[in-house]
Amino acid sequence: MPAVVEECHKAVDKEHDVDVCNRAIRASLTFLVGTAVLVGCADADLQAPSASGWTRVADSPLSPRFGALAFWVDDRIVITGGSDGRPCPPNADCAPSTTPPLRDGAAFDPATGGWHDIASAPVALEGASTAILDDMVYLLIRGSDWVPGSAPAFVAYDARRDRWLDLPLPPDGKDTGLILAAAGDQVIAYQGSQENGVAHDLVFDPLDETWSELPPDPLIRSFDRTMVWTDAGLVLFGIEDVPQPGSIEPALYRAAVIDLETLKWRRLPDSEVVGYEPAWFWSGGQVVNPTLGTSDGGEVNGWGRSYPHGGMLEPKRGMWSALPDAPPSSGYPGVSLAGDDYVVSLMGAVLHAPSGTWFELPPPPGSAGEGQAITWAGDSLFVWGGVRWDGDEPSIVSDPWLWRPPGER
């Protein structure tokens, strides 16, 4: 252990990145039952997971807030933005807020349990679409007349150097319908729906900070569009834009893949996944939509059978498969995200994609009801902040929780 402390002190003396210190300590940490042995300049407060898998970790340096953004980048959880104004009660109409969004942030290292402040965002991050490439978080801010200080912007947070970059907006950058996706070493900005018109999807090159256009895709026109980077290229999912209401057929997802080097599209077989939630993630070597349940069209416009809300696609072969059977769940609903091997369903369940095993996701103890900052972080789900309601009275919180699936505990 003395060698670890010495290396840590050298790193600090030479003004190296604090990660040098953390990596040296992390490599030598010895974990006892529910307690971490703390060494040198590590700031840890790790606990053993509860029976539900949730662990309450150290408090962050941030004030309580809701609507903050959370990212897993550079092996750390980064939280930024949010609001500490009075929230609007669920299912209520409220006057526009007069409280500007917060811009400060902090980073948490799950390996050491330590927090540290990060640089404040240069703009209000309200209504941001995000994508992560390596150590960079890209944010396309839509801007809103309802939020003080909110304006369209395209920025990036460099997690390694703890600095923000101001980047050029997409052509006609005031278009608020673009969604970001990471694709290899580039960033994609695509339309979420083509119901009100078709525009070019765009590619941003971080090296020369320029935008270019993707060629038209073979699924035009479509809605509930999602783009996902895979080992076969960039896969597009979308539902054919047909008259609604009035269609007597189920609205099913179609797919196509583009090679970003040749810019050639390849149409993939259509799915039997009915449009319910456009939540597609690359996890465990497949594209997974973890949405559980089925629809049959109802009594008036029945389709003759039920269609699933979710499914899986192996894009190289264009092979679709059904989700593994999941047990009935009454877990922590409303969360839809993924990590390398785990995918979280809106219905409060987590799928281990490589094995096809489902786990129930219980709510964090005393969790907030809305506005939490949530991200998948390595082998864990991280939840922070949000609002608890007691009737019409809100409590804004800053509780940080980690949940690990049973196989990772």
Distance from C-alpha of 10 to C-alpha of 169, rounded to nearest angstrom: 42
- pLDDT beyond 50 at 322: yes
The predicted-structure confidence for 37-54, as pLDDT tens digits, reads as follows: 223 333 444 555 566 799
**Quick check: 276 and 198 in contact, CB under 8 A?**
no
Q: pLDDT-based confidence at 231, cuts 50/70/90?
A: very high
pLDDT at 51: 62
Model confidence band, residue 386 (pLDDT cutoffs 50, 70, 90)? very high
- With contact defined as beta carbons under 8 Å apart, do 39 and 26 qualify? no
Domains and CATH numbers, the chain: 63-360+367-408 (2.120.10.80)
Highest mean pLDDT: which of 15-29, 90-104, 120-134, 135-149?
Answer: 120-134
Residue 260 reports pLDDT greater than 50: yes
Digit-coded pLDDT (tens) for 81-107 = 999 999 988 888 888 778 899 999 999
Decide which of 121 and 177 is more confident.
Answer: 121
275-295 tens-digit pLDDT = 999 999 999 999 999 999 999
pLDDT of residue 321: 97
Give first-to-last CA distance, the chain, whole Å: 26
pLDDT above 90: residue 18: no
What is residue 37's three-state secondary structure? Answer: coil
Residue 20 has pLDDT above 60, yes or no: no
Comparison of pLDDT for 128 and 150, the residue scoring more: 128
Residues 312-324 have a mean pLDDT of 97
* Residue 250 near residue 273, CB atoms below 8 Å: no
User: Out of 41-50, 60-69, 239-248, which region has the weakest mean confidence (pLDDT)?
Assistant: 41-50
Q: What is the mean pLDDT of the chain?
A: 86
**Sole residue written with tokens 């209401």:** 245
314: enclosing H helix or E strand: strand 311-314
Per-residue confidence (pLDDT) for residue 40, from 0 to 100: 30
